[in-house]
Structure 1
Amino acid sequence: MADAESIAQQNPGLDTKHDSAGAKHPATGGSGNPQTGEPFEHAKPDAHQRLDRKDERSHPNALEDAQRVEKLEKEAEKEHEDALRHPTAAAKAHGNKPSAGAVKDEKILDEEEEELRKKDEAKKQSAEAHKSKHH
């Protein structure tokens, strides 16, 4: 890997003070950690105010953060939906015995799902029976 001085000698028009202003490391020629070449990790939660117009993050960094947050929100929403479908899951995940109410709720949900499955099956059978045989 070349050092900053040799890069400056090879590129006389390169202004290392301004060309690399936080965007690229002069020794590596890329962004991120100069020792490993790996991109920097995201800042700690609440280090940036996501809707702050004065935040100095670049547009691609702001977009990447928005995508990361959207992914986290989708995961949280999925976990919430799973918790609603399986009321006893939270207690079991923490090694506790589910409450009687949670057990009853889960039983009711299972019965409703079974009933809906039977109704869908009956609809399919009815549609099959009513198909015109003269096609």
Structure 2
Amino acid sequence: MVADAQTHAEQNPGLDTKHDAAGAKHPETGGVGNPQTGKDFEIAPPDAHSRLDRKDERSHPNALEDAHRVEQLEKEAEEAHQEALRHPTQAALAHGNKPSSGAVKDEQIMDDEEEELRKKDEAKKQSAEAHKSKHH
């Protein structure tokens, strides 16, 4: 593992193992690494920590709670994405920018299509009412 940590450090020349960016400092010693041995912790290999790993110390209810939390976050992100697709100008406006002409046109087209669908649904309801059997 030490070779992997060394390789990782070599591949990341900006990595500074002596400062906060390298990892958490122990509150009692003020240094990084294992407080008993004084040696730096080894850098974990990629994907060493899996959120849904059953070999960790979390209880089953805690793992389920985490899975539900992540599922809710994914659902919220999908809803936000769908909302952004319905209103192409909102992203620019939220950042204080003027929406592009393409986004404005897209939003106008979508509004026109929604209006047309609403009118068609209304016409279908009126037609269904007109064709109902009056002999019941």
TM-score tier (shorter): 0.5 to 0.7
Residue matched to 1:75? 76
Distance 1:47 1:80 in 2: 30
Structure 2: unaligned runs, 5 residues or longer: 1-46
Change over 3 Å in CA distance of 1:80–1:93 after alignment to 2:
same
Distance 2:119 2:48 in 1: 52
Residue matched to 1:114? 115
Residue matched to 2:101? 100
Moved over 6 A (4+): none
Distance 1:134 1:73 in 2: 53
| TM-score (structure 1 length as normaliser) | 0.63
Residue matched to 1:61? 62
Percent of aligned pairs with the same residue? 86
Structure number with greater CO (CA < 8 Å, separation at least 6) is 2
Return the offset for 1:121: 0.2
Distance 2:65 2:48 in 1: 15
Change over 3 Å in CA distance of 1:102–1:62 after alignment to 2:
same
Return the offset for 1:54: 1.9
Return the offset for 1:48: 4.8
The one-letter amino acid paired with 1:91 is A
Distance 1:85 1:65 in 2: 30
Give the length in aligned residue pairs: 90
Return the offset for 1:53: 3.1
Distance 1:73 1:47 in 2: 23
Residue matched to 1:8? none
Q: Summarize deviations over 1:27-78 as a string: whole Å, max 9, x none.
A: xxxxxxxxxxxxxxxxxxx995123232221100001101111111111011
- CA root-mean-square deviation: 1.7
